[in-house]
Amino acid sequence: MDFNHFLTSYMPNPNVGSKVHFQNMIDQSILAEKLGYKKVSIPEHHLINLLMMPSPLQMAVKIASLTKNISISTSVAVLPLHDMRTYAGEVATADILTDGRLILGVARGAFPWEMKRLGTPIEHSKEKFTESLEVLQKLLSEEEVSFSGKYYNFEALTIMPRPITQPIPIMIAAMDPKSIKNAALRGFHVQSTVLSGTRELLMERVNAFRDGCEELGEKGKLLKLSMQRMMFVAKDEKDAEIKNKLAYEYYKRFDNMFTGPGKVKNGNIIPLPRKQSFEEMKDNLLICPINELIDKLSIYAEAGVDEFIISSSFGQEQNETIESMHKISEEIIPYFKNSKNQVA
């Protein structure tokens, strides 16, 4: 099982400033390559201080200019918010400027408050996403593309520049087992998560992915399943308690956007009471000392997850994030790199 460092881009204290905040993300990316992470991932969200990244492709190019080998993924680009006729050219440019290290993670969007204010209500985003992805694939892989659909109608055109990678790897973010299976069956890598953290939900997603890959045939053997969870190596139980409390504050804001009313003031998400208790969240997250963390991660490795995406920033200091990254490199990555610690 490989490990991917997700640049959570969470700025609960606006006094930190965006310059320092983004530099912290860049520093984490450079360190991730040095420490043996396979990939760094960049979110896309607008207008808010959580998962804040209006232009993940720009960040991908910046990271590529300061690294040599690490793969860089959008996690995820929200296709319904873009015009594919211009976005395809931006993707091709990023492919060139990252020397072919770009993985394009895509999705329909997750926060109703955000999607509504940017002109694509969440209830219409799935349909628009499906058509947008079809258009994007054609523009990236074919010349002289024309299209007639509900959201796109255009005469023959060719995006310029042309990408250097054919095909550019595409990963679809999905949580519903049916959507996961369908994505694999169509030949896409899949990114998912289990917000409640139960083994049953994990296996539902893994089995759906496997079913899609098996039905696809030989090409299905090349596809990868990634799981994203919040994770941090705590020094001890006391430190774990402190960090989980920070994570609980993070999720008060996340829930406000994901399933809540969407209350925002001056770009800052207002924390709201959660339905999930602190103890329930603590049991589900992977914020704990190293030995307990290995046990929790083993469930994912044994289930057949190919890549674990680490959401590692939830309000702690930058030096604490860096320290956790080092511990993951020293003890977690080597442990799961050894195939005998995984069940096929």
What tens digit of pLDDT does each residue of 203-232 get? 999 999 999 999 999 999 999 999 999 999
How is residue 337 written in tokens?
Answer: 């790199």
| Average pLDDT of every residue of the chain | 96
CATH number at residue 163: 3.20.20.30
Interval 51-69 mean pLDDT = 98
Residues 6+ away with beta carbon under 8 Å from 223: 184, 187, 188, 189, 190, 209, 213, 216
213 and 293 in contact (C-beta within 8 Å)?
no
Distance CA 285, CA 43 (A): 20
Interval 71-93 mean pLDDT = 98
Q: How does pLDDT run across 107-126, given as a tens digit for each residue?
A: 999 999 999 999 999 999 99
List, as one string, the DSSP characters of 6-70. Answer: E-----S-GGG-HHHHHHHHHHHHHHHHHHT-SEEEE--B-SSSSS-BS-HHHHHHHHHHH-SS-
pLDDT of residue 94: 98
Q: How does pLDDT run across 160-205, given as a tens digit for each residue?
A: 999 999 999 999 999 999 999 999 999 999 999 998 778 999 999 9
pLDDT of residue 291: 96
Domain count, the chain: 1
Q: How far is C-alpha 290 from the chain's CA centre?
A: 23
pLDDT of residue 213: 98
pLDDT of residue 226: 98
Q: How confident is the model at residue 341 (pLDDT cuts 50, 70, 90)?
A: very low
Distance CA 102, CA 251 (A): 29
Peptide bond into 161 cis (omega under 30): yes
How big is the CA angle at 225 (ends 53 and 184), to the nearest 5 degrees? 100
How is residue 248 written in tokens?
Answer: 């609980």
Distance CA 294, CA 301 (A): 10
Q: How confident is the model at residue 338 (pLDDT cuts 50, 70, 90)?
A: confident
Q: Tell me which residue of 87, 80, 40 sits closest to 62, measured CA to CA.
A: 40
pLDDT of residue 198: 84
| Rg, Å, the chain Cα set | 20
26 and 318 in contact (C-beta within 8 Å)?
no
Interval 6-16 mean pLDDT = 95
pLDDT, greater one: 340 or 316: 316
Q: With 0-12 CB in 10 A as exposed, 13-18 as middle and 19+ as buried, what is 268?
A: middle
Could you count the other beta carbons within 10 Å of the beta carbon of residue 49?
Answer: 21
Q: How confident is the model at residue 65 (pLDDT cuts 50, 70, 90)?
A: very high
pLDDT of residue 343: 44
Range of the domain at 190: 2-341
Residue 57, pLDDT above cutoff 60: yes
Q: pTM value?
A: 0.96
Q: Tell me which residue of 249, 268, 232 sits closest to 315, measured CA to CA.
A: 249
